[in-house]
Structure formats: C-alpha cells, structure tokens
Amino acid sequence: MKSPYADFYLVPLLTRNLTAYRKMALLGRRVFLKHGALEYREYVGEDLRAAFGCVPYPKVVKARRGETVISAIVGFRSRAHRDRVMKRIMADPEMAASMSSGMPFDMKRMVYGGFRQIV
C-alpha cells in the first residue's frame, strides 16, 4: 500500500452472501476510484485463528456461526483528501442507489477507522 492515509474496515459476513458482497465491493471500488481514492482493496478471511494471545478478527466483529470476516483498505493522500473523496462518494447517485437496496452484512458490527501511516 503506497497511500499515506487509509481507511480500514472489518465486516462480518454470512459466507453465503459472499457473491452479493463481492458485487457490492466491485461497485464500491469503481466509485471510490472515480472520486479520487488512490487504491481500494477487499479481502475475505481465510486464516482467522488467533495466535500469540491476540484477539481474533471474528471476535472483534462478533462473527456468528456461518460468518467470515471481510477486511477492506482504501488509500488516500491525507485525511483531508479522504474527507473530500467521501463527500463526493456519498453524493454519488450510483452509490446511494446501492446503499438504499440494503447491505449484505450487519452494519452495526462493522469496524471502521482512518489511519495515518507511520512506517
């Protein structure tokens, strides 16, 4: 990742909804990049066992039986750049239509934050 600022997301997802989520993520990537995000990546959990006493991702998002975890990273030049891009994304009609049709995951258990690169 070559972006000095990034938003990170963790999302619990019913494994059976992976196809619907991927379709939504492809739209998200197109809209984020169209409005100025530097990069957009999404990953589906594969090895989510905790090692070395760490808190496992499924526990963080309160994943239930039959769910996996999606991790997404969106890169920006700065927090101010992210804020400008997000404002345009939230005003995008295609994104609004997608969001109004419902999400294939529980938004209340999504974890999100913006991070400034230090190394």
Predicted confidence at residue 83, as pLDDT, reads: 98
CATH topology of domain 5-116: Alpha-Beta Plaits (3.30.70)
Report which of 116, 119, 114, 107 is spatially closest to residue 7, judged by C-alpha positions: 114
Integer Cα distance of 57 and 12 in angstroms: 9
pLDDT grade for 103, boundaries at 50, 70 and 90: confident
Predicted confidence at residue 74, as pLDDT, reads: 98
Predicted confidence at residue 105, as pLDDT, reads: 86
* Separation in Å, CA 19 to CA 23, 24, 99: 6, 9, 16
For the chain, the domains span 5-116
Which is more confident, 77 or 103? 77
pLDDT in tens, 61-88: 999 999 999 999 999 999 999 999 999 9
Global pTM reads: 0.88
